[in-house]
Structure 1
């Protein structure tokens, strides 16, 4: 069976563990070209499943480093799960580019989950956190 082309992009996206700082689950990754072509941000399935997000289709509040809040929507995208609406506006207004490293941290997992998106995350910081 042939692996879909977007599957290899998804596998390449996840570059770090799903353990969290200060008891907040998180992952560190890089922005792949699909994030710009498809206007979606896939979340690692291990992260989604371990945080009970898999079968939810709901609003999420995504905070940037300036503490601005963005309303985005989570949901299934084929065999994947991620941010389905609101990602393009967040990405554009934060000046994100292909290859930018980022940290996605789930701060609150309530009826409306809240996540912190650490833009342009430094690879040096990521390596320190993995150790």
Structure 2
């Protein structure tokens, strides 16, 4: 007796994110559907939450453009990603995290906006502040404001005379609505914050020695390091607002990694900031 298999109308496959590779292989068994449509190679379209990404397919692998998709969708190691084939090289993609629930994303957010929002970050290893290079293609008044804010960040970072490593980052809407904050890559690498996820402590400058929050440091698939779970509580408790500057000074206390965080307001005219607080950890 011959058993006839019925081809799915929209075949699907899934992948579990196991590492930070800049490409992703399509399962061998699934490739027959692409061969049937004679689309083994070319430019795929990956769609998620009303947005789309163009990704090169070569050798049945998602290659150029995959890293952008992974970054913009905040893929983490352990995420479960489902690809629904819509014909040709078009896929609707759903992402599930370790809670077994589908991730939620802001609708109609341009996938490059996050990079633009993170423009202006500065870091230091305890010496001169270093600009974390980002591309800012905004125009008009938005560009003027971004440029002024970037200059203000540089000015304030240069005025900080900390012995401990630190970085300065302006708060963007993305940081306050998605409740995540990206640590500059060079800062993360030079201070041993890459390679695994773990908890850090954030301390503010409040009274009675300040308050503290445990925050998860998460490794993104593209190599970035983010403050994630727990950042929300810190941002809300400190009433963070867009365009405020946060200065993160890295300390080691009782074997724990601690960020001492100072928040200052940016003003487009006049004196932009109060002078930085004295570095109590400075050497005599």
Normalising by the smaller structure, the TM-score range is: 0.7 to 0.9
Q: Following superposition, which runs of at least 4 residues in structure 1 exceed 4 angstroms of deviation?
A: 1-4
Counterpart position of 2:220? 77
From 164, 184, 192, the counterpart of 1:24: 164
Counterpart position of 1:38? 178
Gaps of 5+ in 2: 1-63, 69-110, 127-160, 267-271, 277-284
What secondary structure sits across from 2:124 in the alignment?
coil
How much does 1:23 deviate? 2.4
The separation in 2 between residues aligned to 1:18 and 1:103, in whole angstroms, is 11
Counterpart position of 1:115? 259
The separation in 1 between residues aligned to 2:245 and 2:227, in whole angstroms, is 17
What secondary structure sits across from 2:243 in the alignment?
coil
How much does 1:117 deviate? 0.7
How much does 1:84 deviate? 1.1
Alignment of 1:73-112 (within 5 A): 73-79=216-222, 80-108=224-252, 112=256
Gaps of 5+ in 1: 127-131
Counterpart position of 1:9? 117
CA RMSD of aligned residues (A): 2.3
The separation in 1 between residues aligned to 2:194 and 2:254, in whole angstroms, is 14
- How many residues are matched? 124
Higher normalized helix content (fraction of residues) = 1
1:48 counterpart = 2:188: yes
Counterpart position of 2:152? none
